[in-house]
C-alpha cells in the first residue's frame, strides 16, 4: 500500500511537471507565432539561391570611399539629378542582379549608389555560418553607415534621395524612412521589419512582398498595409506578388524567363515609385 501510494504520488508529480512543461512549450510557441505574425524575421529563405559575386560586373564603377564605404556607382553625376541608395540583401553589393538593377535605375535618370555595408564580408553561401555572420553585421550598423552615404550625397549637392532595401537592407531603409533624410522608400521582400517600424514611417513608402515568404509572410505584409491605410498623410503602396519566393527581385536566374518577368515587374513598381516621389 505504501509503495502503491508512493508510486501514485510520484506519477502524479511527474505528470504535473510534464503538464507544466508542455504548457510552457505551447505558450512559448504561441508567443513566437504571435510575434512572427506581426513582424518579419530572418529565415533560411534569406539564404536561398545565393548569387555568384562579381566585383567587375556592371556598367558603373566602384569607388573606394563614398561616405566611408566602398560603393558601386552607376550613372553620371549631376547635382540636379535625383539619387537612389540601394541597400543589398545579405549577399552584398557585388551581386550581379543587384548591379544590373542599379544600372537600370541609372538609365532612367538617377544617380545610384550601392555601398558595401559588409566591408568585404558578405554572407557565405553556407547557411550554417549565418548565426555567426549576422552577429557581426546587424542592420543597426548598416543604418548608421547609410546615413553617412546620404550625407556624402548631400555634400555633393544632391537634394532628392530615395532608398530601396532588399531583405536585410529593408530594415536599414525603414529606419531611414522614419526621418526626412530621404524622399521615398521601397522595401522589397523585407526581413526584420516590424509593425512598430511601419507606424513610425514619415515618408512615401512602398512594400513589395512575396506570396511565399517565411521572413515576411503575406499576413504580415497585409498588416503593414492596414497600418499604412490609417495614415493618409504617408503615401503608400503595398503589393504581394503571387507565386514568388523571398528574394525574387534580385536572386533570380537570368535564364528563367518567368522569374525574370516577375523580377522586372517589381523593378518597374519601384521605378514608378521613385519617379513619382523622388524626381
Residues 44-63 have pLDDT tens digits of 666 677 778 889 999 999 99
Backbone angles phi, psi at 158, to 5 degrees: -75, 130
Cα-based angle 50, 38, 19 (whole degrees, multiple of 5): 100
pLDDT at 40: 62
Q: Which residues on neighbouring strands pair with residue 77, listed in sequence order? A: none
Res. 165 pLDDT band, cuts 50 70 90: very high
Q: Where are the domains of the chain?
A: 1-38, 41-277
Q: Which of 85, 43, 86 is nearest to 246 (CA)?
A: 43
pLDDT given for residue 51 in this prediction:
78
**Is the pLDDT reported for residue 19 higher than 70?**
no
For the domain spanning 41-277, the CATH number is: 3.40.50.1820
Q: How confident is the model at residue 257 (pLDDT cuts 50, 70, 90)?
A: very high
Rounded to an integer, what distance in angstroms lies between the CA atom of residue 63 and that of residue 274? 24
Banded model confidence at residue 177, pLDDT cuts 50, 70, 90: very high
Distance (Å, rounded) from C-alpha 148 to C-alpha 162? 15
Give the model's pLDDT for residue 7.
29
Amino acid at each position: 500500500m505504501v509503495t502503491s501510494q508512493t508510486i501514485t504520488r510520484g506519477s502524479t508529480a511527474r505528470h504535473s511537471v510534464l503538464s507544466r512543461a508542455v504548457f510552457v512549450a505551447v505558450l512559448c510557441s504561441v508567443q513566437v507565432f504571435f510575434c512572427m505574425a506581426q513582424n518579419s524575421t530572418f529565415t533560411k529563405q534569406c539564404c536561398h539561391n545565393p548569387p555568384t559575386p562579381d566585383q567587375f560586373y556592371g556598367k558603373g564603377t566602384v569607388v573606394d570611399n563614398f561616405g566611408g564605404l566602398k560603393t558601386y556607382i552607376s550613372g553620371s553625376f549631376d547635382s540636379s539629378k535625383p539619387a537612389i541608395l540601394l541597400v543589398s540583401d545579405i549577399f552584398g553589393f557585388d551581386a550581379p542582379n543587384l548591379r544590373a538593377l542599379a544600372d537600370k535605375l541609372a538609365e532612367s535618370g538617377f544617380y545610384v549608389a550601392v555601398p558595401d555595408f559588409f566591408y568585404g564580408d558578405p554572407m557565405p553561401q553556407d547557411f550554417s555560418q549565418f548565426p555567426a555572420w549576422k552577429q557581426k553585421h546587424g542592420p543597426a550598423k548598416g543604418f548608421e553607415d547609410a546615413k553617412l552615404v546620404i550625407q556624402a550625397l548631400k555634400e555633393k549637392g544632391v537634394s532628392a534621395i530615395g532608398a530601396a532595401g532588399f531583405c536585410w537592407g529593408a530594415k536599414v531603409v525603414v529606419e531611414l524612412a522614419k526621418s526626412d533624410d530621404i524622399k521615398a522608400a521601397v522595401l522589397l521582400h523585407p526581413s526584420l521589419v516590424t509593425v512598430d517600424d511601419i507606424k513610425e514611417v514619415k515618408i512615401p513608402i512602398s512594400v513589395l512582398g512575396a506570396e511565399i515568404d517565411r521572413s515576411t509572410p503575406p499576413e504580415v505584409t497585409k498588416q503593414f498595409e492596414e497600418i499604412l491605410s490609417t495614415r493618409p498623410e504617408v503615401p503608400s503602396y503595398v503589393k504581394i506578388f503571387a507565386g514568388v519566393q523571398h528574394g525574387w527581385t534580385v536572386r533570380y536566374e537570368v535564364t528563367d524567363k518567368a522569374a525574370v518577368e516577375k523580377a522586372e515587374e517589381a523593378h518597374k513598381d519601384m521605378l514608378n515609385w521613385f519617379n513619382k516621389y523622388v524626381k
